Copies of this chain bind each other. A is one copy, B any other.
Amino acid sequence: MRPSNRAPDEMRAITIETGFTKHAEGSCLISFGETKVLCTASVEERIPPWLRGKGEGWVTGEYSMLPRATHTRGSREAARGKQSGRTQEIQRLIGRSLRSVVDLRKLGERQITLDCDVIQADGGTRTASISGAWVALRLAVNGLMKSGDIKSDPIAAQVAAISCGIYNGTPVLDLDYDEDSSADADANFVLIEGGQIAEVQATAEGATYDEEGLLRLLRLAKIGCDGIFAAQLDATKG
């Protein structure tokens, strides 16, 4: 049924390789099948101007695709002189998603930037980014707690993201590129451990969907995120 021969509720293999780069306070290479994203967390002892003096920190995200992460080479945003609307949309989503589980007061007056750079793309780059960014953030915060810079854990919960879609009339989990490019609906869910929702972005493509369809996609997303939560825990243990 699916080009990938996966069952409708079957995710691709998830791997998380922590410590992929040595300079970042936290880092991992997360793979959802052939989609590979390098996520790093950088801690800086400064905050954006509009936060100064409030006793709070900030968590933000940045996202980029390497030019040849995709089937055909895309031009470099730095060469074009601006980030695309898509890039900015994803960056905003990453930051918002991670902030939904962080107590910025406990973080103190510091900023953590989560850089998500797509090394290879095969669908689901934004959801892999969010899921991997949590791992990088967890590792960086672990370091801050170990060093005593932070007393009380500012991370309240795990957060993960997954895409679902309606493919040939069937709701399916974790779209790869082939599925994504011909799905009737494409939905990204950002979920928090315990069943809460941080964000839903569900877009009809070609065909529209109804309330029932939305619910079925949400339930698939819960299955998927449970798998990611387990992989995140595994990667950040010990």
Q: Please, how many angstroms separate the alpha-carbon atoms of A34 and B20 in the complex?
A: 12
Stretch of A7-15, A60-68, A124-132 lying at the B interface: A60-68
CB distance from A125 to the nearest CB of B (A): 13
Each complex incorporates copies of this chain amounting to 6
A52 at the interface (CB under 8 A from B): no
Q: Point out which of A68, A81, A120, A204 has the most chain B C-beta atoms below 10 A from its C-beta.
A: A68
Question: A137: CB under 8 A from chain B?
Answer: no
Closest to A188 in B: B201
Smallest CB separation, A160 vs chain B (Å): 13
Knowing A21-B69, A78-B77, A88-B88 are in contact, say whether A214-B201 is a contact too (CB < 8 A): no
* 27 sampled A-B residue pairs with Cβ under 8 A: A21-B68, A22-B120, A23-B68, A40-B66, A42-B73, A62-B79, A64-B76, A66-B117, A68-B115, A73-B113, A73-B115, A78-B80, A78-B87, A79-B83, A81-B82, A85-B85, A85-B91, A86-B92, A88-B89, A196-B209, A196-B210, A197-B204, A198-B203, A199-B203, A200-B201, A214-B214, A214-B218
The interface size bin for chain A is: 35 or more
